[in-house]
Amino acid sequence: MNVKYVLNFLGRLLTQFSVVFIIPLAFSIYYKENPTPFIIAIMFSIFIGVFLALIRPEGEIKDTLLKSWLEYLLPERMRYKEAFAIVSLSWLSISLIGSIPYVLIGINPIDSFFESMSGFTTTGASVLIPEKLPKSILVWRSLTQWLGGMGIIVLFLAIFPSMARKGAPLFQAEYPGVTMVKLKPRLRDTALSLYKVYIFLTLLEILTLWSLGVSLFDAINHAFTTLSTGGYSTHSESIAYFNNPKVEYTVAIFAALGGSNFALLYFLFKGSGKIFSDEEFRAYISFILFFTAILTFINTERFNLFDSLRYSVFQTISIMTTTGYTTIDFDLWSDSAKLILLLLMFIGGSSGSTGGGIKVIRIYLLIQYAIQQILRAAEPRTVRAVRYGNTVIKKELLDDIAAFFILYIFVFVVSSL
């Protein structure tokens, strides 16, 4: 592996990453808060980025940053091991730099790194009390999830042509799905198309929540963390703070969109009905409707029908898309209801979405694969192929999916010990 090339690429990414701190910096100035944490974060990101970017793959050091940018050329072909190294180191480095604002307001380094990593990975786990944080820090906290939702690498491939030129392996390493989608002939145009959908839906949710009486500040933060399926909130009570069914249904709809394949959403906005014929999307919607109905039925023992539907549809979507918002303490629900929520957490969102989990397409293909094996045992001479639409899925891919599923469950079990 070309280590110096990886460090060079990482340096350019960190230098460009410094730009995102301008957003919380602007909020700190607007709310008359201390802007120093973000200024220092910008300086640190640029300093580390420049230092690494000046390293040539051949091992030479360029004279100036400008000269480095003008003369440096990407290798003819980035290998996948370099791509995976860049993606892995990028997430780690960006999370470390992203923790600087937290540290500079007095939060201990471990908690700061945890909050930053949880944000960028859209895990949503938090060790901080939102009400005790400055508003600019809350914006930064939400922004980390928005950036991490679609993928930081995808963002920079969309914005910076020099990165997109040979960045197919990076896109493949970052893309959350079984196979990589390519909406346009040029990779940069594909990344731009995905982000246009992402930005449009974010703005639409901000305006919708604002029109429902949510403050503009809360609307911005929750739009950031809904479409990214991250789940950070500006309130400890999460969405329950608003106690408004209209707000809850709105957030649920946008979380469901966040858990959908953004390539299909792009085609939908272009006037194509491709999304409605996609088997994964239909399975995704079917899972939501099916488990919402079951939870609604179970919860009628505790709530009236309206409230049971209200809480069930929200928590089904929130948990399945791995958003993690809450409108009620579901720990008080029955064991059967909690078991369903656990199952939904494993299923996750669609491929090509901001949602986590195993992904609907893998579950869908695994179910078909299991049925195929059962039928083969019953009728050995009959040949049945696993299909996704009109495409026959190769056994190698099915084996990879099965291995991923086993590894996922294994890591979960070991982590639970």
What number is the average pLDDT over the span 126-146?
A: 97
Asked whether 41 and 101 are in contact (CB, 8 A), the reply is yes
pLDDT at 282 over 90: yes
What number is the average pLDDT over the span 368-395?
A: 84
Q: How far apart are the first and last CA of the chain?
A: 36
213 conformational bin, left if phi > 0, alpha if psi -120 to 50, beta if neither = left
How far is it, in rounded angstroms, from Cα 87 to Cα 82? Answer: 9
User: Comparing C-alpha atoms, which of 16, 69, 25 is closest to residue 46?
Assistant: 16
Please, which residues bridge with residue 391 across strands? 388
Q: How many residues does the chain have?
A: 417
* pLDDT top residue among 62 and 385: 385
How far is it, in rounded angstroms, from Cα 129 to Cα 181? Answer: 39
pLDDT value of position 183: 65
Please, which residues bridge with residue 55 across strands? 61
Report in angstroms the alpha-carbon separations of 72 from 12, 14, 53.
Answer: 11, 17, 10
Asked whether 265 and 281 are in contact (CB, 8 A), the reply is no
| Burial (Cβ within 10 Å: 0-12, 13-18, ≥19) of residue 102 | buried
Structure tokens at 10: 């990482």
Written as one string, the DSSP assignment of 80-128 is HHHHHHHHHHHHHHHHHHHTHHHHTTT--HHHHHHHHHHHHTT-----S
Asked whether 158 and 188 are in contact (CB, 8 A), the reply is yes
Q: Of 7-16, 129-138, 220-229, 373-382, where does mean pLDDT reach its minimum? A: 373-382
pLDDT digits 0-9 by tens, 53-76: 888 765 444 444 444 444 444 444
How far is it, in rounded angstroms, from Cα 226 to Cα 135? Answer: 18
What number is the average pLDDT over the span 195-222?
A: 97
pLDDT value of position 165: 53
pLDDT value of position 364: 93
What number is the average pLDDT over the span 197-205?
A: 97
In the chain, the percentage of residues whose pLDDT exceeds 90 is 64
pLDDT value of position 81: 76
- pLDDT level of residue 310 (50, 70, 90 thresholds): very high
pLDDT at 177 over 80: no
Asked whether 158 and 46 are in contact (CB, 8 A), the reply is no
pLDDT value of position 417: 81
How far is it, in rounded angstroms, from Cα 72 to Cα 7? Answer: 13
How far is it, in rounded angstroms, from Cα 93 to Cα 238? Answer: 29
Compute CA 12 distance to the chain's CA centroid, rounded to the nearest angstrom. Answer: 23
Helix (H, G, I), strand (E, B) or coil at 55: strand
Asked whether 192 and 111 are in contact (CB, 8 A), the reply is no
* pLDDT top residue among 121 and 81: 121
User: Comparing C-alpha atoms, which of 250, 325, 314, 326 is closest to residue 288?
Assistant: 314
Q: Which strand (E) or helix (H) includes residue 187? A: helix 187-211
pLDDT value of position 174: 55
For residue 125, give every residue at least 6 positions away whose Cβ sits within 8 Å of its Cβ, in sequence order, or none.
114, 118
Mean pLDDT taken over the chain: 88
Structure tokens at 138: 């809350």
Report in angstroms the alpha-carbon separations of 233 from 132, 225, 326.
Answer: 13, 7, 10
How far is it, in rounded angstroms, from Cα 382 to Cα 379? Answer: 6
**Radius of gyration from C-alpha coordinates of the chain:** 22
User: Comparing C-alpha atoms, which of 308, 204, 313, 203 is closest to residue 249?
Assistant: 313
Position of tokens 């079917």? 286
Give this prediction's pTM: 0.88
Please, which residues bridge with residue 392 across strands? 387
- pLDDT level of residue 157 (50, 70, 90 thresholds): low
Position of tokens 């914005």? 159
